[in-house]
Amino acid sequence: MTGTTLTCALVAVVCACSPSKPVTPTAKDRFDAWLTAFNAGDRARLVAFHTAYWPYPKDDPGVDGELGFRSQTGGFEVKKVETATPTHAELIVKERDSDQFARAVIDIEAVTPHKVSNFVMNLISAPAGMGPARMTEAEAIAALRAELDKLTAADKFSGTVIVAKHGTPIFSGAYGLADREHKIANTLDTRFRIGSMNKMFTAVGVIQLVQAKQLAVTDALSKPLPAYPNTKLANKVTIHHLLTHTGGTGDIFGPEFDKHRKELRTLDDYVKLYGKRDLEFEPGAKWSYSNYGFLLAGVVIEAASKQTYFDYVHDHVFVPAGMTSTSSPMEDEPNTDLKRSIGYMRDGQTLKPNTDTLPIRATSAGGGDSTVGDLLAFANALTANKLLDAEHTQLVTTGKVDTPGGAKYAYGFSDDLMDGVRCFGHGGGAPGMNGALTICANGYTIAVLANLDPPAAGRVERFALERLPLK
């Protein structure tokens, strides 16, 4: 097969390709080609596309992960092309199986064979006129209950949900199985791994120390951590940068993590592994999600408080909030707690435990277990200024930098407007786990946890958020 023929086969547009007069594909053509293969769940066509134009990274689950995502979303429909140049396109897409919208951004190289250089999808609120109609509270809860039953029957949701108004639950439910082998059902007391949701706890802990004048957000990392291995990084990156993902500090996941996963048991173990690494970009230059930045925020807590990160958040966040079921146990110890769910990730069309992908212990960047009841308790304590005074609660939750999804990022919280209503919170997701906590100014709080791949919890949260009344 010639390069020209392959291009014609993969570009999902009507074209008059010929060996003598090839058509130069645009970024949108590349997106259309990928979307056609993705929506069809066509393994061979996806592999061909990635082989030719967009190789899977070494740490990527590859076509099986992509097909698993396809089974979770049902595919996507293009709703609007926002920008289209020969090498760059931005499109609004909607999941076929839910109300979730995303902004797809794709860039391709200007030279043949015009490979994909960047391709991301970021969840966004429904654009004006595209989302579902608002309902009364009773109608919205009835619709949510029906949606949860439908998703559970299709094996697209397994977890727990709480919707509260002014701190009091108006709906709660548990669905699916915590342990499929032993047929143990999820209950409202089931603990789920929460992924990046504990960035909220980390940020609150850091700002508590700022409130106590033990730290300042303008402090360079070198002030609390004078022995940090990379002096250049430590002198440039501030606590503000760490808490807003603008420090250029990079990630902790990838080949090095996979190689050392079982050895990484403390925050200091990660610093020993990554501490000599250089900056990815000049601090403050842009927003780029950084798990290592939040891990360092936990190391800052340890240095300033003289407690381990885990002891600090237990004593200063969980206890005052009344969170009795949130913890960070060691993953290589036997799981004898029947209230702790097993995460199930998709391997092609089947589900398997995510045990071999988990960090040995949570970090300040993510991990640990919680319940939807504890997440509601955290939201209530935060908004009642029980964890921070009013000034510092506003500081930690108010957006500071723009993110690709359209929201702003505060300190460990996303800050967004939905139909004019301010909502803040954070999600978490990894193979076999997904969660979301959203706290809105109209009084509604939604907490969802799932022991399936994303977007199992996120789509439920979005379904409720877009139907509940604005007041």
Quickly list H helices, 347-428: 372-383, 390-397
Q: What is the DSSP string of 266-325?
A: SHHHHHHHHTTPPPSS-TTS-----HHHHHHHHHHHHHHHSS-HHHHHIIIIIHHHT--S
Q: What is the domain extent for residue 42?
A: 25-124
* Predicted local confidence at residue 4, as pLDDT: 30
The pair of structure tokens assigned to 147 is: 């949606």
* Predicted local confidence at residue 1, as pLDDT: 29
How many structural domains comprise the chain?
A: 2
pTM for the full model? 0.87
d(CA 220, CA 312): 21
68 plus 153 within the same structural domain: no
139 plus 119 within the same structural domain: no
Residue 376 forms part of a structural domain:
yes
Residues 221-245 have a mean pLDDT of 98
pLDDT at 21 over 90: no
* Predicted local confidence at residue 22, as pLDDT: 66
For residue 173, give the DSSP letter.
E
For residue 366, give the DSSP letter.
B
- Listed residues 89, 124, 159: the one ending a domain: 124
- Listed residues 77, 99, 124: the one ending a domain: 124
Q: What percent of the chain has pLDDT over 90?
A: 83
Confidence of residue 180 (pLDDT cuts 50, 70, 90): very high
Residues 440-448 have a mean pLDDT of 98
139 plus 45 within the same structural domain: no
Give how far the C-alpha of residue 175 lies from the chain's centroid of Cα atoms, to the nearest Å.
22
- Listed residues 90, 124, 158: the one ending a domain: 124
* Predicted local confidence at residue 94, as pLDDT: 95
**If DSSP codes are grouped into helix, strand and coil, which group holds residue 155?**
coil
pLDDT in tens, 106-132: 999 999 999 999 999 988 888 888 889
* Predicted local confidence at residue 359, as pLDDT: 94
Q: What percent of the chain has pLDDT over 70?
A: 94
Residues 356-367 have a mean pLDDT of 94
Residue 13 forms part of a structural domain:
no
Give how far the C-alpha of residue 89 lies from the chain's centroid of Cα atoms, to the nearest Å.
23
Torsion of CA 247, 253, 254, 257, to 10 degrees: 120
